[in-house]
Chains A and B, each alone.
Chain A
Amino acid sequence: MITRLLGLLRKETIQFFQDRWVLGLILWLYTAEVVLCTYALSFEVEHMPIAVVDQDRSVSARYLAESFGLSDAFDVSYRPSRPEEAADLLAEGRIGLALVIPSGFEQAHRSQMHSEVQVLIDGANAHTAAAARNHALEIIARLEQRRPAMNPPMARASAYPVTRIWYNPDQTTTAFMALSMIALAGMMVGVIHPAASIVREKEHGTIEQLLVTPIRTGELFAAKTAPALLMGLLSLFPSLLIVSWFGVPLRGSFLLFLALTAIFLLSAIALGVLIATVSRSLQQALLLAFFGLFPIMFLSGSLTPIESMPDVLQTLSLGSPLRYYMNIILGIFLKGAGWPELWQEAMWLSAIGSGLYLLALLAFWRRIA
């Protein structure tokens, strides 16, 4: 039995490494794509081109315009003289935000009166717009603190926030992006590869040849899933190098991470096998994989926050293994979370994983053997 299994494993491994293109593309997903996305993607507003219309031409107005230009968020690219020109620039998409300082701004500001500035924002990308608005309000609030005390400042009872952001004090997206790309790569490759390898044997009819040999179905199943698991775990290491190169800390236990990743990969592979058993051609299998992967990725919180989704989708997201894995990977790497904090996620992940695995085994038995 062991010899049969070893022989099968050898065949699967050889087949796995035979297709150089596939190997290269999988490696690309685990490495190059992680680097690209980590470098490129962020929801932060940086160097957004803006226009400043200064109709006041006073010291305060210049100071305000300067503080917009000095912030990392904005680059003052245009200084039109009339608000209408700024509006045109906004319409053409050349700028994302326009600051209009009306005449009389400084006078009103100095005399503690009601002073007004106008901020126009291109709302097309809702998130960028919201972030830009917050940056703008922050800059203006800072100017306010500098307000010269003409009258002795009125003592005002107020609460003030002392805000701290934990686990990611610089508020960069680097760590989040790198880790979520690794999770996504694991999910995609984990589903697609076993699905394709089984359906190809079905299409070519070679699976019949395997079935007439003394090989048991369970052995065939194990041989189909093991190389994918091994490959998935091995591909982690180049990704981890990249992650550490980006300076993402590993605060928790590496062994716990590996163990939970194995469970996660098994649930992805099981899904792949399930897809393979129900589809008749490779095209069907790949499309089905697509069809299943999309919601799983979407409802995982790797792209958008789960809390903001409607209740139905929040409930559906409980079925996405990626959701638990995202919490686990972020927890172990960034928060230094261990078993006491993560056991619930781990249990959910194992429950979904083993459920899928059993289902896949059953389907494999009925449909293939």
Chain B
Amino acid sequence: MMPHRVRMLIAKELRQLLRDPVSMGLCLLMPLVMLFLFAYAVNLDVEDVSLGVYDADRTPASRALQHRLTATAYFELKRQFDDTARFESALQAGEIRLAMAIPLGFHERLLRGERTPVQVIADGTYPATASLAAAYASAIVRAFPEVDAGAIEVETRIWYNPSLRSINYVVPGLFAVILMAFPPLLTALAIVREKETGTIQQIYASPITSAEFIAGKLVPFGAVAFLQMTMVVLTGYFWFAVPFRGSAALFLGVALIYVMTTVSIGLLVSTVTRTQLAAMLLALIVTLMPSFLFSGFLFPIFTMPVTLQLYSQLFPAGYFMEISRGIVLKGSDIAAVWPQILLLAGYTLAVFAIASWRLKQKVA
């Protein structure tokens, strides 16, 4: 590998990147858009579920029960119904997500000291919220009019994230997603474009070796990725006040390895596809979708069937996500995360080896 040739390649690549300010701007803006969307849009806690009430009783007690529900942040009274028959069409149209029917004689039966049923119907089509909303509503109804004495008291403590804020969990995971979304896509597109326009033949014809070619792509795209990540870390820390408990140096070191992993995947994608559209679709399927869906970013891995847990292990985003969350949220040191680091490093080497082998075949 000749350093000056690599330098030339890097200069060429950088010039191509900078010549297209729209793409460059999109690359830098996109992670921030993702961050803000994730931070504000991904709220898996239940809030303001639209509630429909049929109050057949119309007494102080029934109004008090309604008030207990609407006083919480969970429910928002959307509509009062005159009979339960209208529930169906309102639920079907998505106007309300939860319906409650308070029967006639509710107040009186409570005064007589009886147990009194209250009907709660939840729209189950959005399962993530349906069960939580139904559980919250049931708990409020059960605690009406007074709290049960002499019950087992459960002291729940939620660690690392006591307020159950999604943002703390999302930001460190987002590093893994963002670094997976852009570098492979950009790398793959850049190389496949050279294939499409035929300029890659000139590279094949020149004395540049495949290792130099790869290094020439790796450095500029790695730099872009690093810039993106720094922006996300800083925005997360200063804007969203996400704590950074562990060592920043360790984090940067691991992130560097991970950037190489992602660029190497982009290389691999570029060696098997011939058009930019195919490269983008393949990149979508092997990088963005798995890093988003199968890495434990939003959906926990332990609930997956075993075969799909294996599928999720095929992609490196999950490894980095564990490291990143460990360092950022729990303050893990190198002793705690070295197995994942080793895995990541091995993975990178393997993908690089395959990619440069395929590239060499083309050259020869």
Q: State the A residues within 8 Å of B (CB).
A: 19, 21-22, 25-26, 28-29, 33, 36-37, 39-49, 90-93, 96, 109, 112-131, 133-134, 136-138, 140, 143-144, 155-169, 171-173, 175-176, 188, 192-193, 196-197, 200, 279-284, 286-288, 290-291, 294-295, 298-299, 301, 303-305, 307-310, 313, 327, 330-331, 334-337, 340-342, 344-345
Best-surrounded residue of B38, B273, B277, B336 (most CB of chain A within 10 A): B277
Tell me if B150 and A123 are in contact (CB < 8 A). Answer: no
> How far, in Å, is A268 (CB) from chain B's closest CB?
15
Tell me if A281 and B20 are in contact (CB < 8 A). Answer: yes
Whether A121 touches B156, Cβ cut-off 8 Å, given contacts A40-B311, A158-B142, A291-B33, is yes
B46 within 8 A of A: yes
Among B205-213, B226-234, B291-299, the stretch that binds chain A is B291-299
A126 contact set on B, CB distance < 8 A: 44-45, 161, 164-166, 168-169
Whether A166 touches B40, Cβ cut-off 8 Å, given contacts A36-B311, A42-B303, A118-B155, is no
Tell me if A327 and B150 are in contact (CB < 8 A). Answer: no
Tell me if B285 and A33 are in contact (CB < 8 A). Answer: yes
Q: How far is A235 from B106 in the complex, measured between Cα atoms in Å?
A: 53
Can you list 24 A-B contacts with CB-CB less than 8 angstroms, sorted by A residue number? A19-B275, A36-B294, A40-B311, A117-B155, A118-B156, A118-B157, A119-B157, A121-B158, A126-B168, A127-B166, A136-B154, A143-B152, A164-B122, A166-B91, A167-B125, A171-B124, A171-B127, A172-B127, A192-B280, A283-B186, A287-B23, A305-B44, A310-B40, A330-B126
Tell me if A91 and B330 are in contact (CB < 8 A). Answer: yes
> How far, in Å, is A282 (CB) from chain B's closest CB?
5
B312 within 8 A of A: yes
Residue from the list B118, B278, B303, B312 in contact with A161, Cβ < 8 A: B118
Tell me if A295 and B37 are in contact (CB < 8 A). Answer: yes
B181 contact set on A, CB distance < 8 A: 290
- Which B-chain residue is minimally distant from A138 (CB atoms)? B135
Tell me if A308 and B155 are in contact (CB < 8 A). Answer: no
Q: How many A-B residue pairs have CB under 8 A?
A: 371
Q: State the B residues within 8 Å of A (CB).
A: 20, 22-23, 26-27, 29-30, 33-34, 37-38, 40-50, 65, 76, 89, 91-94, 97, 106, 109-132, 134-135, 137-138, 141-142, 144-146, 148, 150-162, 164-166, 168-169, 181, 185-186, 189-190, 193, 273-278, 280-282, 284-285, 289, 293-294, 296, 298-300, 302-305, 308, 311-312, 322, 325-326, 329-330, 336
Q: How far is A36 from B189 in the complex, measured between Cα atoms in Å?
A: 26
3 closest A-B pairs by CB? A168-B124, A123-B161, A123-B158
